[in-house]
Amino acid sequence: MNNSAFRFLIRAGCHLCDEARPVVKKAVTSVGGTIREVDIDTDDALTRDYGLRVPVLLGPGDIVLAEGKIEARSLRKALRSLEN
């Protein structure tokens, strides 16, 4: 999964986003991936699609790997599922 790109959808002032950030960074970097944070409020389509769901971690192909209250254990499991 090395060099896989992930998008971490956030919103300014989102406490769940702030809590999830270190969990997401640790999990994604542990599998050799890279993260690009995207504030959904800068894109009308993202706001429409993910407005109440942030934070959201999108994997390759924009697969939703985690959203809302993101916990390390479930995120690691989702990332392992990509390897299969």
pLDDT digit string, tens, across residues 39-70: 999 999 999 999 999 999 999 999 999 999 99
| Whole-angstrom Cα Rg for the chain | 12
Structural domain boundaries of the chain?
5-83
Pick the CATH number of 5-83 from 3.40.30.10, 3.10.180.10, 3.40.50.10540, 3.40.50.20: 3.40.30.10
pLDDT digit string, tens, across residues 14-35: 999 999 999 999 999 999 999 9
The answer to whether the beta carbons of residues 75 and 29 sit under 8 Å apart is no
Q: Which residue(s) pair with 18 in the sheet?
A: none
Q: List all residues 6 or more positions away from 33 whose beta carbon is below 8 Å from its beta carbon.
A: 1, 2, 3, 4, 5, 6, 79
The answer to whether the beta carbons of residues 84 and 74 sit under 8 Å apart is no
